[in-house]
Amino acid sequence: MRRVALALLALLVLAGCAAPAASSGDGRAGTPDRVPLSEVEPLVDPAAHEGPSTAVLADRAIEPVAEAPDQTLPVTVTSYDRSGPRDVTITDTDRVLALDLSGSLAATVWGLGLDGLLVGRDGATTFAGSEDLPVVTNDGHSLNAESILRARPTLVVTDGSVGPRDVVQQLRDAGVQVVFLERESSFEGASRLARDMGQVLGVPAEGQALAERIEQQVADVGTDVERLAPDDEDDRLRMVFLYLRGSAGVYYLLGEDSGADDLIRTLGGVDVAGELGWRDVQPLTDEAVVAADPDLVLVMTSGLESVGGIEQLLQDKPVLALTSAGKNRRFVDMADGDVLSFGPRSADVLDALARAVYAPDR
């Protein structure tokens, strides 16, 4: 939710978040020519498996639900500004910037078939086809007024997870329309975002179609995950998501409402943060690690690289080495621009993570 996104933003800006990097794990969860998840044979005992793995998307492209659909404008939508909801009438979407912490907004525009409207991107927008768009953020996710205005947008869509806010006011003062969408970091939030973005861009039917596709795809992958996960709840993997930025000494556990909770539960794991009542982000203290004692740790790829890899992390945080995950080196990493990017590729992200968790060597 927005409060969590802003907290994560503060961490990212403080740490000077790097662009998503290549895989750092020792094992890869399949290849682009992988077999369907429904045919994957899982580990006999996932909790006993040793060694790291990397979750890799089979296809980084986003398939649109339509090709350049006709838009119906003007439209009046609700913008959820800090001061409260306000109605905004949108008349011009010729040049759009969709900016947020995880790249989900731009991915949703792409999924609607309106990629031709985009004139720039944030640092987290890394899916295939977006690389030619100029980046209009600094330090990964800090808005750059000059870069944004240079792109000459007629509409900026955001969710409050990128800032600073005074840049947004500068844009409005320059005559740029800005719309804030409510956003929840979850699979359900991904489908809601599709509907909301469809309304903003004057393609509500395509927004509904994209939302339904996301819901169906996630449900289908969820069924396959249930087959891979242990039947007995007591045998399910205890998972935590660590947010790491070694260059700034940032070590955090992601708790409830961060998106990591929904990801872990849908992966068939036990969300340790939820079990312990942790919310938002929690410092990675020795006490927290002992209380969690995870079987498996999820991390962002460049975050793991920033701390020097698994062995260096365990040296710097020796209490982690005492956990089941630490003893077995059971870390699963995924590219920063993918792992928490709830949007049109939600099911693909879940599929890739499920392979890394339950069948890393197959």
pLDDT tens column, 190-203? 999 999 999 999 99
Residue 265 has pLDDT above 70, yes or no: yes
Predicted structure pTM score? 0.90
pLDDT tens column, 111-160? 999 999 999 999 989 899 999 999 999 865 689 999 999 999 999 999 98
Round to whole Å and give the CA distance between 93 and 206.
Answer: 16
Does the residue 219 lie in any domain? no
Please indicate, yes or no, whether residues 177 and 272 belong to a single structural domain of this protein: no
Please indicate, yes or no, whether residues 208 and 263 belong to a single structural domain of this protein: no
What is the average pLDDT across 301-312? 96
Does the residue 184 lie in any domain? yes
pLDDT for res 183? 83
pLDDT tens column, 268-291? 999 999 888 888 888 889 999 999
Please indicate, yes or no, whether residues 89 and 208 belong to a single structural domain of this protein: yes
Q: Residue holding tokens 């078939």? A: 113
Does the residue 79 lie in any domain? yes
Does the residue 224 lie in any domain? no
Does the residue 225 lie in any domain? no
Please indicate, yes or no, whether residues 97 and 209 belong to a single structural domain of this protein: yes
**CATH code for the domain of 93:** 3.40.50.1980
Please indicate, yes or no, whether residues 247 and 324 belong to a single structural domain of this protein: yes
Please indicate, yes or no, whether residues 182 and 107 belong to a single structural domain of this protein: yes
Please indicate, yes or no, whether residues 107 and 209 belong to a single structural domain of this protein: yes
- Enclosing domain of residue 6: 2-61+231-358
What is the average pLDDT across 303-323? 96
Does the residue 226 lie in any domain? no
Residue where a domain terminates, one of 213, 244, 260 = 213
Of 280, 332, 292, 342, nearest to 310 by C-alpha is 332
Please indicate, yes or no, whether residues 87 and 207 belong to a single structural domain of this protein: yes
- Rounded mean pLDDT of the chain? 89
Please indicate, yes or no, whether residues 85 and 32 belong to a single structural domain of this protein: no
pLDDT tens column, 31-61? 556 899 999 999 999 999 999 999 999 877 8
pLDDT for res 27? 39
Instruction: Name the pairing type of β-strands 270-271 and 238-245.
Output: parallel
Please indicate, yes or no, whether residues 30 and 87 belong to a single structural domain of this protein: no
Q: Could you give the number of structural domains in the chain?
A: 2
pLDDT for res 66? 98
- Largest Cα span, the chain: 60
Give me the half-sphere count of Cα atoms (radius 13 Å) on the Cβ side of residue 308: 11
Please indicate, yes or no, whether residues 79 and 208 belong to a single structural domain of this protein: yes
pLDDT for res 195? 98
Residue where a domain terminates, one of 161, 184, 213 = 213
Residue where a domain terminates, one of 158, 180, 213 = 213
Does the residue 67 lie in any domain? no
Residue 14 has pLDDT above 50, yes or no: no
* 3-class SS string, the chain: CHHHHHHHHHHHHHHCCCCCCCCCCCCECCCCCCCCHHHCCCCCCHHHCCCCEEECCCCCCCCCCCCCCCCCCCEEEEEEECCEEEEEEECCCCCEEEECCCCHHHHHHHHCCCHHHECCECCCCCCCCCCCCCECEECCCEECHHHHHHCCCCEEEECCCCECHHHHHHHHHCCCEEEECCCCCCHHHHHHHHHHHHHHCCCHHHHHHHHHHHHHHHHHHHHHHHHHCCCCHHHCCEEEEEEEEHHHCEEEEECECCCHHHHHHHCCCEEHHHHCCCECEEECCHHHHHHHCCCEEEEEHHHHHHCCHHHHHHHHCHHHHCCHHHHHCCEEEECHHHHCCCCCCHHHHHHHHHHHHHCCCC
Of 160, 215, 218, nearest to 192 by C-alpha is 215
Does the residue 268 lie in any domain? yes
Please indicate, yes or no, whether residues 238 and 352 belong to a single structural domain of this protein: yes
